[in-house]
C-alpha cells in the first residue's frame, strides 16, 4: 500500500518541473492525481506519463490567477470526486524586473496574481471539499520568502506572502483536521530555472550552475524529485503533527549569514 493510497490529490503547476515530479510521485504512492496547469499541451504529457505507468491521473487547464477558472475547476473536482484529500499549490512564475523604482507594475501584478493570489484562490474554492474529512495542503513558497534577491521584489513579495498566509491557513483550519504547510525550494533544475538563467548547454547557464558550487553548501542544484519527496512527506500521515511550518529544501543556502571564506577559498569552489 502506498503512503497516500486511495486519496484524491490536486497538483497545480503540474506540467513540468517540481509539479510534474510530484504528480508522478503522488500517483506512485496510490493517489488519484488531478493535474492542473495553464499549459494544456504540457499537462497532457504529465498525465500520459502517469497513465502509461498504470496509475491514476487526469488533466485540467487552469489559470490559477482567474477566479472564474478556479471556480469552474473546483466545481468539476466536486462533481467528479466529491472530496479532496491533498492540495499542492505549486503554480508559480518568476522574473527579474530591476530595482523597485524601475520595476514594471504589470510584471509585479502578474507575479502576485499567479504566485500569491493564485494560492489564495485555489485554496479558497477547494478547501470546502476538505472540511468534512480533513486533509493536507502544501503551498510552494521559496527560500526567497526568507530573504531578498536583487531585482526581484515582485517574487520576494509574493513568496513571502505565501509563507505567512500558510500560517494563517494552519490556524484557521487546524480544528477541521486540515494541515497546511509551505515547501520552500532552493534553486532546482527545472525549465523555469533554464528560462531565467540559461540551460545547461548555454554559456550563461553553465556559468550559473558553476556558481552553485560555492553558493550552495551541497554544491549543486536540486532535482525536482528531491522536492517531490518533501511534498510527499507533508501530504502523508508521516507529518500528522506538522502544520503551519515552512520546510526549506535548499541545499543549505539559508544556513549561512554571509559567504565569508566561501568568496576566496579555492577548495570550497572546487570540491
Q: What is the DSSP string of the chain?
A: --TTTT-EEEEES-SSHHHHHHHHHHHHTT-EEEEEES-HHHHHHHHHHHHHTT--EEEEE--TT-HHHHHHHHHHHHHHHS--SEEEE---------STTTS-HHHHHHHIIIIIIHHHHHHHHHGGGTTTT-EEEEEE--GGGSS--TT-HHHHHHHHHHHHHHHHHHHHHGGGTEEEEEEEE-SB-SHHHHHHH--TTSHHHHHHHHHHHHHSTTSS-B-HHHHHHHHHHHHSGGGTT--S-EEEESTTGGG-SS-GGGGT-HHHHH-
Helix axes 118-126, 67-81, angle to 10 degrees: 30
Point out the catalytic residue in the list 103, 125, 155, 173: 155
Active site residue 155: yes
List b or e across 16-39, with b for residues whose CB sees 16 or more CB atoms inside 10 angstroms. bbbbbbbbbbbbbbbbbbbbbbbe
Residues carrying an active site annotation: 155
Amino acid at each position: 500500500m502506498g503512503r497516500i493510497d486511495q486519496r484524491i490529490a490536486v497538483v497545480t503547476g503540474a506540467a513540468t518541473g517540481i509539479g510534474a515530479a510530484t504528480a508522478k510521485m503522488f500517483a506512485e504512492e496510490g493517489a488519484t492525481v488531478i493535474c492542473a496547469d495553464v499549459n494544456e499541451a504540457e499537462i497532457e504529457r504529465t498525465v500520459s506519463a502517469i497513465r502509461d505507468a498504470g496509475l491514476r491521473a487526469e488533466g485540467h487547464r487552469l489559470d490559477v490567477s482567474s477566479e472564474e477558472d478556479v471556480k469552474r475547476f473546483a466545481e468539476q473536482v466536486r462533481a467528479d470526486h466529491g472530496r479532496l484529500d491533498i492540495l499542492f499549490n505549486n503554480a508559480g512564475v518568476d522574473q527579474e524586473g530591476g530595482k523597485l523604482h524601475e520595476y514594471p507594475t504589470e510584471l509585479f501584478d502578474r507575479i502576485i496574481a499567479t504566485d500569491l493570489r493564485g494560492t489564495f484562490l485555489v485554496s479558497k474554492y477547494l478547501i470546502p471539499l476538505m472540511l468534512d474529512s480533513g486533509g493536507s495542503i502544501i503551498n510552494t513558497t521559496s527560500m526567497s520568502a526568507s530573504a531578498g534577491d536583487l531585482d526581484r521584489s515582485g517574487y520576494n513579495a509574493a513568496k513571502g506572502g505565501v509563507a505567512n498566509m500558510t500560517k494563517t491557513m494552519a490556524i484557521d483550519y487546524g480544528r477541521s483536521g486540515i494541515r497546511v504547510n509551505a515547501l520552500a525550494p532552493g534553486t532546482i533544475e527545472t525549465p523555469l530555472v533554464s528560462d531565467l538563467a540559461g540551460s545547461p548547454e548555454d554559456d550563461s547557464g553553465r556559468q550559473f550552475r558553476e556558481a552553485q558550487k560555492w553558493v550552495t553548501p551541497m554544491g549543486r542544484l536540486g532535482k525536482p524529485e528531491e522536492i517531490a519527496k518533501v511534498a510527499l512527506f507533508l501530504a502523508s500521515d508521516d507529518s500528522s503533527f506538522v502544520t503551519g511550518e515552512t520546510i526549506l529544501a535548499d541545499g543549505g543556502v539559508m544556513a549561512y549569514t554571509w559567504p565569508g571564506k566561501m568568496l576566496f577559498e579555492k577548495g570550497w569552489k572546487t570540491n
